[in-house]
């Protein structure tokens, strides 16, 4: 029988397929001989550089036109999705220039948000807190209240409380939380005594923020509950957030004048920690999700969370763990944290 050598082709020696390693080596040899590998993909490389500049200098994007800077910062982590997209395009174009340029946005994104990906939670803690925008149009307030009561939290803050639904929340939560206060459309429920309860003026014309001292066994802590004004994206006006921005300044002033060293802020701030417009608050307090969370902890919209606008922030308190709770009938996810006083 005549043996046929299948390692060469009839036209003089190009190797046949011997497996993945052989194909990869052959591709490398072909790329070395491809003089266009550096010339192709210049536009993709330029896009990678622009993406890098956008992430690095996001704070320099002006808010004068439609609050464009705040809008960019609200969804800043999602800019990372452009990196794998550009990577695929660079591979299809077989462009070394684009592949090298992509290292820039990849490194910047990891530097900005890589710390949020790893689990930073620790065991222990003196106080577990939960914050939830329950949605004024919640079709099942009783079920939502039961889910919150089952969370095991010591202190619960609820926002967007509709007047005729308040008795339902009070009734369901009464067995778990002995102490509570509702101020306007926000409320605070606690297993421990509340003192110094009062509304906080955030320049809205009606009450959407409150403050109380929680007498926890490990020590007293000032707890603020706030629901800042909503923001909208409009074609003719851009990112409309002026009322929210005015309210956050008022809230920041109230917190700065609080005599307590331990402060916890619970609420729907309608903004993320990256949004410069929340600086009056974020410059004083730190996010539990950033300090002790596992992942980004996106809370809105509940059906497909894209941003963390529901916050638990602290001063003089050590966050040990931070997470989101399962979805209720609200359009927000509840957020929770364990704190060491």
* pLDDT of 17 strictly over 70: no
- As beta bridge partners, residue 240 has 232
What pTM value is reported for the model? 0.86
Question: Cα angle at 312 between 174 and 159, to 5 degrees?
Answer: 45
Write down the pLDDT at residue 12.
Answer: 45
* pLDDT of 230 strictly over 50: yes
- pLDDT class for 234, splitting at 50, 70, 90? low
**Segment 252-301, tens digit of pLDDT:** 999 999 999 999 999 999 999 999 999 999 999 999 999 999 999 999 99
Write down the pLDDT at residue 27.
Answer: 58
Q: Strand, helix or coil at 340?
A: strand
Q: Please tell me which residue, 23 or 215, carries the higher pLDDT value.
A: 215
Q: How far is CA 115 from CA 29, 294, 322, in A?
A: 39, 9, 14
**Segment 45-71, tens digit of pLDDT:** 999 999 999 999 999 999 888 789 999
- pLDDT class for 241, splitting at 50, 70, 90? confident
* pLDDT of 33 strictly over 60: no
**Segment 164-223, tens digit of pLDDT:** 999 999 999 999 999 999 999 999 999 999 999 999 999 999 999 999 999 999 999 999
Which spans in the chain are helix H? 20-32, 42-56, 68-74, 82-93, 96-101, 103-117, 141-149, 166-173, 242-256, 279-282, 288-292
* pLDDT of 321 strictly over 70: yes
Write down the pLDDT at residue 8.
Answer: 43
- pLDDT class for 119, splitting at 50, 70, 90? very high
Buried b (16+ CB within 10 A) or exposed e, 207-230: bbbbbbbbebeeebbbbbbbbbbe
Report yes or no: 138 and 329 within 8 Å, Cβ to Cβ: yes
| Among 246, 293, 294, 235, CA closest to 271 | 246
Q: What is the mean pLDDT of the chain?
A: 91
pLDDT mean over 293-315: 97
- pLDDT class for 235, splitting at 50, 70, 90? low
Tell whether the torsion through CA atoms of 156, 251, 133 and 321 is positive or negative: negative
Write down the pLDDT at residue 37.
Answer: 81
Write down the pLDDT at residue 106.
Answer: 97
**Segment 84-96, tens digit of pLDDT:** 999 999 999 999 9
Q: How far is CA 50 from CA 38, 43, 44, 70, 79, in A?
A: 19, 11, 10, 18, 11
- As beta bridge partners, residue 220 has 215
Instruction: Say which DSSP state 80 is in.
Output: G
DSSP 8-29: B-TTT-PBPP--HHHHHHHHHH
């Amino acid at each position: 029988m005549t043996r046929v050598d299948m390692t060469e082709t009839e036209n003089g020696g190009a190797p046949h397929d011997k497996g993945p390693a052989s194909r990869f080596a052959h591709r490398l040899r072909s790329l070395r001989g491809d003089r266009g590998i550096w010339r192709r993909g210049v536009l993709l490389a330029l896009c990678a550089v622009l993406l890098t500049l956008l992430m690095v200098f996001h704070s320099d994007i002006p808010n004068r036109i439609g609050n464009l800077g705040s809008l960019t910062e609200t969804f800043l982590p999602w800019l990372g999705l452009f990196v794998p997209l550009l990577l695929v395009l660079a591979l299809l174009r077989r462009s070394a220039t684009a592949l090298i340029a992509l290292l820039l946005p990849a490194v910047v994104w990891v530097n900005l948000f890589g710390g949020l990906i790893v689990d930073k939670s620790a065991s222990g803690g003196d106080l577990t807190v939960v914050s939830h925008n329950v949605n004024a149009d919640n079709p099942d307030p009783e079920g939502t209240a039961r889910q919150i009561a089952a969370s095991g939290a010591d202190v619960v803050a609820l926002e967007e409380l509709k007047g005729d639904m308040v008795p339902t929340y009070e009734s369901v939560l009464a067995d778990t939380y002995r102490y509570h206060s509702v101020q306007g459309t926000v409320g605070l429920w606690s297993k421990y005594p509340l003192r110094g309860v009062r509304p906080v003026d955030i320049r809205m014309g009606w009450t959407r923020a409150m403050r109380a001292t929680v007498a926890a066994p490990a020590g007293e802590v000032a707890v603020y509950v706030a629901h800042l004004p909503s923001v909208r994206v409009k074609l003719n006006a851009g990112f409309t957030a002026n009322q929210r921005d005015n309210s956050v300044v008022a809230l920041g002033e109230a917190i700065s004048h609080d005599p307590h060293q331990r402060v916890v802020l619970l609420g729907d701030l309608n903004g993320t920690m990256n949004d410069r417009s929340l600086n009056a608050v974020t410059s004083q307090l730190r996010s539990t999700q950033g300090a002790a969370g596992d992942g980004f902890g996106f809370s809105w919209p509940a059906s497909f969370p894209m941003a963390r606008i529901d916050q638990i922030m602290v001063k003089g308190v050590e966050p040990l763990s931070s997470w989101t709770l399962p979805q209720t009938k609200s359009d927000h996810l509840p957020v929770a944290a364990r704190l060491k006083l």
